[in-house]
Amino acid sequence: MNSQDQLWDVAVVGAGIAGMSAAIFAASKGLSVLHIGNGSGLVFGSGLLDVLAVHPVKDSTVHEDPWHGIELLRKDEPSNPLALVGPKAMEVAVNQIMEALGKAGMPYEPSTTNHFVPTSMGTLKGTFGVPTTMTSGAKAFENKWPTLLIEIRGLREFSAAQMVHTMGDKWPGLRFEKIEFPDSKGVFELYATHLATALETNKTRQAVIDIVRPLIGDAKAVGFPAILGLSESTAVHKAFEDALGVPVFEIPTMPTSVPGLRLKHSFEVAAAAAGVFRRVQSVVTGVKFDNDIATLTLQDATGNQEVQAKAVILATGRFMGRGLFADREKVREPLLDLFVEQPESRENWHSRDFFAKSGHAINRCGLLVDSKWRPTDAFGAVVWPRLYAVGSILARQDWMRQKSGSGLAIGTAWAAVSAMSDDFGSIGGV
């Protein structure tokens, strides 16, 4: 199949969590979906799916109930995209994605509230969707189980000693042991992906189990850095629990991490299962609109091609994702030169304090959309009737401080696809 030979119902641009989710939701509604983007940003994910944990940001108020948090957000920041999605749609959307990822090899614990997952930094991460390989960490902390953490010599980003020192006052039964990973003698630097792959072999896994088992003592749970298998994490995790006889959990580590790779892989499997057609190696360099059809110019190693779609979903992210670009003067949306709501001048982009309580104003800049998630100009007029924007490119949110990145991505994707498919119904498409 060649993507340029047909008129697609929808072209999704961008393959982070928002683009992946939008493509899956649209395909699930029976629309033909062309998805463009390589998803390299997904590997920066931790595997945890945040919905909303902090509001208001300036007070650092952490919520156990994300739905209540969104209700409060509706009062305080009614135009925040999370508030526009609303708690009900958000819950449906996030659960659908968690289910799809589960079927694609990355199961999540069924969830109704936020969980507090211990991180490699020794902080507690309030988050909604927790991969089953990580859930016992939150439980171990909550119940203050005597817990053993495993440090691996040569794994540079992770120190179990650091976690014990940092969390020890709140978690007295926490201790650590340092081990030498099998066959790593003399190797300076170990990479989590290599260890994860190695643990998918019986021999290496058994060797690690044999090293760890005598160290368990009174521990009621054992925590590892997130290295328990790459694509076989469910099986590897279960094998460890069966062999060690206690709950085993992974600890989220600095990106790019193994759970980030799993997330990317599982999203790709889920998108394929939903019938999404993906153009992984292409970049969209231009979009032209006429009355009913958008023509997208795709660039890859072989040159330029044009594809056509009846609708376009923009999910290109912020500065890291290249969805937004800033020069010294202002922030622009580089693909379509869409209107970007932003602070007056660069003077106001950032606070002088990195950890400033209220965050940085630049992080709330972005696209404005109408009630159907269509980007508008400065005066509220839509740019094109079936151009939609989802995810972190949207204005008036601060996903990093609100701990709402995945919820923002998945929730807005859900809402935009719903609005779009209503529109397809009304124009008699599909």
Q: Which residues bind another protein (CB under 8 A)?
A: 44, 46, 54, 60, 62, 119-126, 151, 153-154, 156-159, 161-162, 165-166, 178, 185-189, 252, 254-255, 318-320, 322, 325-328, 345-347, 349-355, 357, 360, 362-363, 399-401, 403, 405
CA 234 centroid distance within chain? 19
C-alpha 318/C-alpha 340 separation (Å) is: 11
Cβ burial of 215 (10 Å; 0-12, 13-18, 19+) is middle
Reading the block at residue 47, the tokens are 């595997």
Q: To the nearest whole angstrom, how small is the minimum distance from the Cβ of residue 308 to another protein?
A: 31
Smaller CB separation from another protein, 23 or 163: 163
Tokens of 330: 């202002």
Is the N-terminal amide bond of 56 cis, ω within 30° of 0?
yes
Q: How far is the CB of 226 from another protein (least distance, A)?
A: 12
Q: How far is the CB of 365 from another protein (least distance, A)?
A: 11
From the list 42, 20, 18, 108, the residue with the least C-alpha distance to 257 is: 42
CB 130 to another protein: min, Å: 14
Q: Which residue has the tokens 């927790």?
A: 130
Is-contact 248 228, C-beta < 8 A? yes
Are residues 94 and 411 in contact, defined by beta-carbon separation less than 8 angstroms? yes
Q: Which residue has the tokens 């968690």?
A: 98
Q: In this complex, which beta carbon is closest to another protein, that of residue 235 or of residue 356?
A: 356
Residue whose CB is less far from another protein, 172 or 255: 255
Residue 150 or 271 having the CB closest to another protein? 150
Rounded to a whole number of angstroms, the minimum distance from the CB of residue 47 to another protein is 10
Tell me whether residue 180 or residue 218 sits nearer to another protein (CB atom).
Answer: 180
Spatial separation of the C-alpha atoms in residues 51 and 410, rounded to whole Å: 9
Q: On the CB side of 34, how many CA atoms lie within 13 Å of its CA?
A: 28
Shortest distance, CB of residue 162 to another protein, whole angstroms?
4
Picking from 46, 6, 43, 25, the residue whose alpha carbon sits closest to that of residue 279 is 6
Nearer of residues 32 and 159 to another protein, judged by Cβ: 159
Nearer to another protein by C-beta: 149 or 419? 149
Q: Which candidate, 356, 266, 331, places its Cα nearest to that of 57?
A: 356
| Distance in Å, CB of 151 to another protein, minimum | 7
